[in-house]
Amino acid sequence: MIRLIFTIICLVPLVFFAQKPIELKNKFFGTYSGEISSFKLDTGEDLVDVAKTKINIKIEQDSIHFAIGRNELGSIYTVLFEASKYYVLDCKVNGRLAGERIVIYKRGKKISRDGLFPQPNALLYLVK
């Protein structure tokens, strides 16, 4: 009986202090625009030069949309982490195994997209 009471006393606080989901503030929603710089792609036989490309990312309350060149992708996101200066988003892109990682800076109205190898990272700014 004492063990049962001790177990209940230890487990109840864990339920109340569980981490709540992190939500983005409205000021971070909008369309961000930037450019992915050129890079070289190793196809196994040759090195192919990939030209720089425009990228737009639109962040909404419950979804995120990517426009890279002529390709458009829709996705949902979760906020993985909130630091004092930025948020980290994990985006599950429909039809892809690998997701996208976005860093939203709290100051400066800019975001960073972590490129999948060999793509370089891209810095995007909020469009008015």
The pLDDT tens digits for 46-80 are: 888 888 999 999 999 989 999 988 989 888 999 99
- pLDDT per residue of the chain (128 residues) written in tens, 0 to 9: 777 676 767 666 655 555 667 888 889 999 999 999 988 888 888 888 888 999 999 999 989 999 988 989 888 999 998 999 999 999 888 777 788 899 999 998 999 998 777 778 899 999 97
Tokens of 83: 């630091």
pLDDT of amino acid 18: 57
pTM over 0.85: no
pLDDT of amino acid 108: 85
How far apart are alpha carbons 38 and 3 in whole angstroms? Answer: 64
pLDDT of amino acid 95: 75
The answer as to CATH 2.40.128 being correct for domain 20-126 is yes
**How far are the Cα atoms of 10, 28, 48 from residue 68, in angstroms, in the given order?**
50, 20, 19
Tokens of 125: 């700014």
**How far are the Cα atoms of 11, 56, 62, 115, 126 from residue 112, in angstroms, in the given order?**
40, 11, 19, 9, 11
Q: Is the peptide bond before 21 cis (omega within 30 degrees of 0)?
A: no
- For the chain, which residues make up each domain, given as ranges? 20-126
pLDDT of amino acid 21: 76
